[in-house]
Homo-oligomer: A and B are copies of this chain.
Amino acid sequence: MARCVEFNEVEKIEKAMNVFWEKGYNATSMQDLVDAMQINRSSLYNTIGDKHQLFMKCISNYFDNAMQELKDKVANETSAKAALIKVISDKADWIISCDKGCLGMKTIFEIAPDDCTVRNVMSKNNDIFIEFLATIVQKAMDDGEMDDSEDAALMAEYIATSFTGWKQSYILNGNPIKIKKMSEFLIKNIFK
């Protein structure tokens, strides 16, 4: 009957995501996005929507990918303790390897405080992440690999907030050794 969409939406979303990742929401212009996505302006507005809608899709895609990766990673480990160590040290490696900021943290500090829609999504995603971490922590406690005098949820939150702190440190100092040390310190701390 009629012509149909000629581009793969997920693929385009990912290209847009990289631009937001690098520049942040406000500093990214529609021109930047159109250029990077290699898509027509009209097509963009017709199929995905405006800048804000596109951004929402980007952060959802960002989280979904990260969460899937995390789950796969954990599934490959034999114990809860090993899984936690893997997750923590991989996060440290990731922070060190990535010279851009972090789309998630950038969004939380730049956009979330003033944008209710964004804040709700980020908050929900964060809850899912923390809850997932908490189940592993709980398992480690149940298996006697970890001191269980502390609340598992608080422990998970403690781990997650540490990641944010590391990212801040790396943005400012760009010192990989410091990040490594802090991750080792965290691991030592939670298993002591």
Chain A residues packing against B (C-beta within 8 Å): 22-24, 26-27, 100-102, 105-106, 108-110, 112-114, 119, 122-123, 126, 150, 154, 157-158, 160-169, 171-173, 178, 181-182, 185, 189
Do the beta carbons of A109 and B101 come within 8 Å of each other?
yes
Point out the residue from B26, B122, B189 that lies within 8 Å of A189, measured CB to CB: B189
**What's the minimum C-beta distance from A170 to chain B, rounded to whole angstroms?**
10
Residues in B whose Cβ lies below 8 Å from that of A112 = 171-172
| A23 to B, closest residue via Cβ | B114
Note all chain B residues with C-beta closer than 8 A to A126. 172-173
A93–B146 CA distance with the chains assembled, in angstroms: 30
The residue of chain B having its C-beta at the shortest distance from the C-beta of A166 within the complex is B161
Q: How many copies does the complex hold?
A: 2
Given contacts A100-B113, A161-B166, contact A154 B172 (CB under 8 A): no
- Measured between beta carbons, the chain B residues less than 8 angstroms from A105 are 109, 168
Residues of B within 8 A of A189 (CB): 189
Q: Which residues of B contact A163 (CB under 8 A)?
A: 165
Rounded to whole angstroms, the CA-CA distance of A110 and B114 in the bound complex is 14
Q: Enumerate chain B residues within 8 angstroms of A113, measured Cβ to Cβ.
A: 100-101, 106, 171
Report the separation of the CA atoms of residues A108 and B166 in the bound assembly, to the nearest whole angstrom.
12
Are B161's CB and A165's CB within 8 A?
yes
Nearest opposing residue in chain B for A178, CB measure: B157
Contact of A168 among B24, B101, B164 (CB under 8 A): B164
Query: Which of A26, A108, A168, A181 is packed against the most chain B CB atoms within 10 Å?
Result: A168
Q: Closest 4 CB pairs between A and B?
A: A161-B165, A26-B26, A101-B113, A109-B109
